[in-house]
Amino acid sequence: MPRSTPTTISLPPFSGVTRFLIIANVSAFFVVAILLWAAPGVTSPWLHPFFLQPAGVARGEIWQLVTYSFVELGILGILFGMLSLWFCGSIVEGAYGSRFMRELYFTSVIGGAVLASAVSFTHVLHFGPESEAFGAYAGLFGVMMAIAVRMGDIEFMLIPFPIRIRARWMVAIFILVDIAVLLKDGDIFRALIELSGAFCGYLYTVYAPTRGLAFGFSERLFGLRNGYYRYKRRRAARKFEVYMGKQGRNVKFDKEGRYLDPDQHKDPKDKRWMN
């Protein structure tokens, strides 16, 4: 009879952009915790400008679109959030590189904040622009959405339950939970940010270049520059043709501005064209 072995969990690599994000979030958590312990009366008013508040963003406090993702006050929130980011971020970064992971994460963080803030001004979900939210889950949902779209058959183990589930179904469950929160009037603003982050992560995964937006933008920029240089070369070639024509010389260039050697197609055995 085959012998059963206990289930083991192997930790993924702790490096790259994923490591930077985890260290930044954990460091911010302990800094805030120490400040709240040492001087709660002073720290609380100072901390609120770093939360995401749509009304504050509308007043020009646009740094909130990023800073809210590095603020977490609950121990369980930072623990499960960073463990999930470690496992999911290492998968995405290992498959598509650091640039893709960085752009995916911050596209989800910023895009989710912008979409949720815009919805808050409509009051359609019974909350307004004075609502506040914080946490890294918008970026995390974007990363998980990328895994569900491109690597949906990867299996995850649900902690603390010894149950394996495929990535696409796990993300679907998380999204349904957030939709239920929206319908049951729970923490609506935070749930909306997570759903918006997942949506932005989906858009980035489907439409962004594999090597990242920055690479695609630089390639487009270099393409425009090279096209301008080719235009200048063709223009100079036409001017040179006109100038040499006035001098009694017949000079030809192709449509790309490259010089056409008149002797290129001549028979080398034909002595009549030689001096």
Same-domain check for residues 64 and 178: yes
* Mean pLDDT value of segment 66-91: 93
Dihedrals phi, psi of 166, to nearest 5 degrees:
-75, 155
Q: Flag whether 250 is in a domain.
A: yes
Alpha-carbon distance of 77 to 8, in angstroms, equals 24
Q: What pLDDT is stored for residue 42 in this prediction?
A: 80
* Contact residues for 91 (Cβ-Cβ < 8 A; gap 6+): 12, 147, 151, 154
pLDDT digits (tens, 9 = 90+) for 95-116: 999 999 999 999 999 999 999 9
Q: Flag whether 6 is in a domain.
A: no
pLDDT greater at residue 6 or residue 14: 14
Question: Model confidence at 220, in pLDDT bands (50, 70, 90)?
Answer: low
Give me the chain's average pLDDT, please: 84
Phi-psi region of 126 (alpha: psi -120 to 50; beta: other; left: phi over 0): left
The SS3 assignment for 21 reads: helix
Write out the residue range of the structural domain in which residue 77 sits: 16-208
Question: What total number of domains does the chain contain?
Answer: 2
Q: Is the pLDDT of residue 261 over 60?
A: yes
Q: Flag whether 2 is in a domain.
A: no
Tell me the sheet residues that pair with 271: none
Question: Model confidence at 1, in pLDDT bands (50, 70, 90)?
Answer: very low
Torsion, Cα of 9, 89, 82, 203 (10° steps): -130
Q: What pLDDT is stored for residue 238 in this prediction?
A: 77
Same-domain check for residues 78 and 199: yes
Q: Is the pLDDT of residue 9 over 70?
A: no
Question: Model confidence at 117, in pLDDT bands (50, 70, 90)?
Answer: very high
Q: Is residue 211 a contact partner of residue 99, using CB atoms and an 8 Å limit?
A: yes
The SS3 assignment for 240 reads: helix
Q: What pLDDT is stored for residue 219 in this prediction?
A: 56
Torsion, Cα of 46, 182, 156, 81 (10° steps): 10
The pTM (predicted TM-score) of the whole model is 0.75
